[in-house]
C-alpha cells in the first residue's frame, strides 16, 4: 500500500484514528427555510455562522490528531475525470428525476459542479407562476450532509453504501460511493444494496445505527431509519466474509426524534467503557435487544438478551456503562435530546462531544475522563497525548439543534488495530 493511500480498515469504534471524512456545513444549511425544514428532516433551522464556528472546533481538534478529508474537496478531485463526471452526473439527475439538467451540470467546472451537487441547483424563475410555485430548487440542497456518518459505513475493510430511509438523502450516498470507488487516496471495497441481487425496497440502513465494537461484532439499531431487512442484507453481504460473526440488534422507538439512531443512545468510549441512555439501554422496556449468530452469511440463531453490555460481556468484551445525564431521569432526557450520548472516540479513552451536557460530563469525570476545551487542544495549550483518558468538549448550542453529535458528524475510514 502506498504511504499516500488509505486502505479502509475499521475494526473498532475506539482504535487510534488514522483518517476521517468531514463536511463543513455551508450554504446548503443556510438554504433551509421553516417551510422545508421538516422535509429536510430538521425540527428547526440553524444559524449557519454559529454552526460553522462550532464545527470549526470539532474539525480543528480532529486535524490535530489525524488526517482529515472534506467531502467537497474529494468530490471535486474525482470530477476532474470526465468519465466519472459524466457517470455521476447521469446517476444523480436520473435518481432525482431531473435528467433535463444533466448536460447543464456536466458543462460546469469540477469545482462548480461539486458545489451545485451539494448546495443545490436553483430554479430559473422566468414567470410569476415559477415564482409562486415556491419550489426554488431543481436539485435540492443537501441540508444533512454534515452528518457524514449516515451515507456510508466502514465495516472492517468494506464500505457499505447505505440506502437511507429518506429519498432526499440518496444523493449523499451516490456521492460517497463515487468517492470511495474512484478517489486515488482510498483503497476501498464498496457494497451498495441497490446493485445487489439481494436488493429489496424494504432495505434501509444508516451509519448512525451501525457500530463496530470489535471486528467480529456489529451493533445495529433498528427503527425508523434502519429496517430489519437492512440488517438481513448486512448479514448476507458482510457476514459472508470471516468477520463479523455476531450482530447485536437494538430496537429503537419511533419517537421522540432524538432516538433516530443507535448512536444517540449508545456509543463506545474506551476498551471497557460505553456511554448509554439508561432508560432505553439498561432498563426493562418493550424494545428488544437481540443477539444474532451468523455463519457464512446465514443467521444461525437469534436470542433475546437483557441489554447490549450483557451480550458484549458474554462475547468476552466486558464494558461498564457511563450514564448520559447522570442518574436523574429529567437530566437524562434533557441531555440525551441534545446528543449527550453521542461521543466520538479518536483513540481509546479519548473522546470528543458537546460541552453543554454538564451532567454527562460529570459522569465522565467520575469515570476518569479529564475534560478539556477544544480551543485549548487547537491552540496547543493542551496535548491530548499527555492524558490517558480525556473528553474534549466543543460548543453545541447550534450544532446540537441539527439532531446529532460528534459521532454523527464524522465518517472514519481507518483506525489502528487494538
45-88 confidence digits (pLDDT tens): 788 999 999 999 999 999 999 999 999 999 999 999 999 999 99
For 239-276, what is each residue's pLDDT tens digit? 656 666 999 999 999 888 889 999 999 999 999 999 99
- The number of domains in the chain is 1
User: CA 320, 11, 283: angle at the middle one, nearest 5?
Assistant: 30
The parent domain of residue 341 ranges over: 6-415
CATH number at residue 273: 3.75.10.10
For 79-125, what is each residue's pLDDT tens digit? 999 999 999 999 999 999 999 999 999 999 999 999 999 999 988 87
Mean pLDDT, residues 287-305 taken together: 93
- pLDDT exceeds cutoff 60 at 37: no
The pLDDT value recorded for residue 38 is 53
- Three-state secondary structure of the chain: CCCCCEECEECCCCCCEEEEEECCCCHHHHCCCHHHHCCCCCCCCCCHHHHHHHHHHHHHHHHHHCCEEEHHHHHHHHCCCHHHHHHHHHHHHHHCCCHHHHHHHHCCCHHHHHHHHHHCEECCCCCHHHHHCCCCEEECCCCCCCCCCCCEEEEECEEEECCCCCHHHHHHHHHHHHHHHHCCCEECEEECHHHCCCCCCCCCCCHHHEEEEECCEEEEEECCCCCHHHHHHHHHHCCCCCCCCEEEEEECCCCCHHHCCHHHCEEEEECCEEEECHHHHCCCCCCCEEEEEEECCEEEEEEEECCHHHHHHHCCCCCEEEECCCCCHHHHHHHHHCCCCCCEEEECCEEEEECCCHHHHHHHHHCCCEEEEHHHHHHCCCCHHHCCCEEEEECCCCHHHHCCCCCCCCEEEEECCC
- Domain presence at residue 1: no
For residue 162, the tally of other CB atoms under 10 A from its CB is 32
- Domain presence at residue 352: yes
Mean pLDDT, residues 186-208 taken together: 93
Mean pLDDT, residues 22-44 taken together: 72
The pLDDT value recorded for residue 68 is 98
Euclidean distance between CA atoms 251 and 259, whole angstroms: 10
- Using a pLDDT cut of 70, give the percent of the chain over it: 94
What is the value of pTM for the model shown?
0.95
- pLDDT exceeds cutoff 90 at 403: no
- Domain presence at residue 145: yes
Q: How confident is the model at residue 198 (pLDDT cuts 50, 70, 90)?
A: confident
- Domain presence at residue 114: yes
Q: Cell 451515507 maps to which residue?
A: 151
Amino acid at each position: 500500500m502506498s504511504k499516500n493511500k488509505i486502505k479502509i480498515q475499521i475494526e473498532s469504534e475506539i482504535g487510534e484514528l488514522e483518517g476521517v471524512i468531514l463536511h463543513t456545513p455551508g450554504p446548503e444549511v443556510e438554504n433551509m427555510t421553516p417551510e422545508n425544514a421538516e422535509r429536510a428532516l430538521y425540527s428547526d433551522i440553524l444559524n449557519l455562522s454559529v454552526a460553522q464556528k462550532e464545527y470549526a472546533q470539532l474539525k480543528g481538534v480532529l486535524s490535530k490528531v489525524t488526517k482529515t478529508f472534506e467531502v467537497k474537496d474529494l468530490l471535486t478531485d474525482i470530477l476532474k475525470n470526465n468519465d466519472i463526471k459524466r457517470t455521476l452526473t447521469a446517476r444523480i439527475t436520473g435518481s432525482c428525476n431531473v435528467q433535463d439538467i444533466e448536460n447543464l451540470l456536466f458543462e460546469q467546472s469540477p469545482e462548480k459542479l461539486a458545489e451545485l451537487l451539494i448546495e443545490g441547483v436553483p430554479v430559473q424563475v422566468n414567470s410569476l407562476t415559477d415564482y409562486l410555485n415556491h419550489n426554488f430548487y431543481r436539485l435540492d440542497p443537501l441540508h444533512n450532509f454534515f452528518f457524514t456518518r449516515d451515507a456510508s459505513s466502514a465495516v472492517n475493510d468494506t464500505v457499505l453504501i447505505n440506502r437511507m430511509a429518506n429519498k432526499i438523502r440518496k444523493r449523499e450516498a451516490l456521492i460517497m460511493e463515487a468517492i470511495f470507488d474512484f478517489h486515488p487516496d482510498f483503497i476501498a471495497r464498496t457494497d451498495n444494496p441497490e446493485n445487489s441481487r439481494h436488493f429489496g425496497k424494504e432495505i434501509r440502513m444508516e451509519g448512525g445505527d451501525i457500530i463496530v465494537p470489535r471486528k467480529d461484532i456489529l451493533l445495529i439499531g433498528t427503527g425508523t431509519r434502519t429496517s430489519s431487512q437492512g440488517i438481513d442484507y448486512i448479514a448476507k453481504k458482510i457476514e459472508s466474509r470471516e468477520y463479523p460473526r455476531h450482530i447485536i440488534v437494538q430496537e429503537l422507538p419511533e419517537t421522540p426524534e432524538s432516538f433516530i439512531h443507535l448512536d444517540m443512545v449508545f456509543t463506545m468510549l474506551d476498551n471497557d467503557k460505553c456511554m448509554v441512555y439508561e432508560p432505553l439501554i439498561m432498563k426493562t422496556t418493550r424494545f428488544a435487544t437481540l443477539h444474532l449468530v451468523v455463519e457464512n452469511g446465514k443467521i444461525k440463531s437469534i436470542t433475546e438478551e437483557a441489554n447490549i453490555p450483557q451480550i458484549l460481556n458474554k462475547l468476552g468484551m466486558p464494558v461498564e456503562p457511563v450514564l448520559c445525564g447522570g442518574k436523574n431521569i429529567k437530566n437524562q432526557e434533557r441531555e440525551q435530546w441534545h446528543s449527550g450520548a453521542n461521543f466520538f472516540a479518536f483513540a481509546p479513552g479519548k473522546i470528543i462531544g458537546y460541552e453543554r451536557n454538564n451532567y454527562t460530563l460529570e459522569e465522565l469525570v467520575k469515570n476518569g475522563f479529564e475534560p478539556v476545551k477544544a480551543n485549548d487542544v487547537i491552540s496547543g495549550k493542551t496535548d491530548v497525548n499527555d492524558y490517558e483518558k480525556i473528553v474534549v468538549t466543543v460548543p453545541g448550542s447550534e450544532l446540537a439543534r441539527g439532531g446529532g453529535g460528534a459521532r454523527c458528524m464524522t465518517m472514519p475510514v481507518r483506525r489502528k488495530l487494538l
